[in-house]
């Protein structure tokens, strides 16, 4: 499932980061790496996705969030 498919308060793991090398480098630089646990905070349509991970709240634009594959726990 994609990161944009998760609901608020759901917990999960990042399984795969798609896209080109530039995207992968940029997204891993802010702490989103494969195997990282996360909690979805906010996932409203037409708004950035808010994710809590590594004791940090991160906003990810929806286009980028579509490239991130996750597994809910």
At residue 62, the pLDDT reads 95
For the chain, which residues make up each domain, given as ranges? 3-72
What does the pLDDT read at residue 23?
A: 94
Beta bridge partners of 16: 69
Task: State the pTM of this model.
Answer: 0.91
Can you tell me the distance from the alpha carbon of 7 to that of 44, in angstroms, rounded to the nearest whole number? 9
Name the residue among 30, 7, 9 with its Cα closest to residue 17.
Answer: 30
For the stretch 12-45, pLDDT in tens is: 999 999 989 999 999 999 999 999 999 999 999 9
CA distance 21 to 38: 22
Distance CA 70, CA 41 (A): 15
Q: Domain 3-72, what architecture?
A: Roll (2.30)
Contact of 72 with 12, CB cutoff 8 Å = yes
């Amino acid at each position: 499932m994609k990161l944009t498919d998760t609901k608020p308060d759901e917990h999960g793991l990042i399984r795969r980061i798609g896209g080109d090398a530039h995207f992968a480098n940029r997204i891993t630089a802010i702490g989103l790496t494969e195997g990282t646990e996360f909690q979805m905070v906010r996932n409203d349509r037409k708004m950035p996705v808010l994710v809590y991970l590594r004791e940090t709240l991160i906003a990810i634009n929806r286009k980028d969030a579509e490239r991130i594959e996750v597994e809910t726990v």
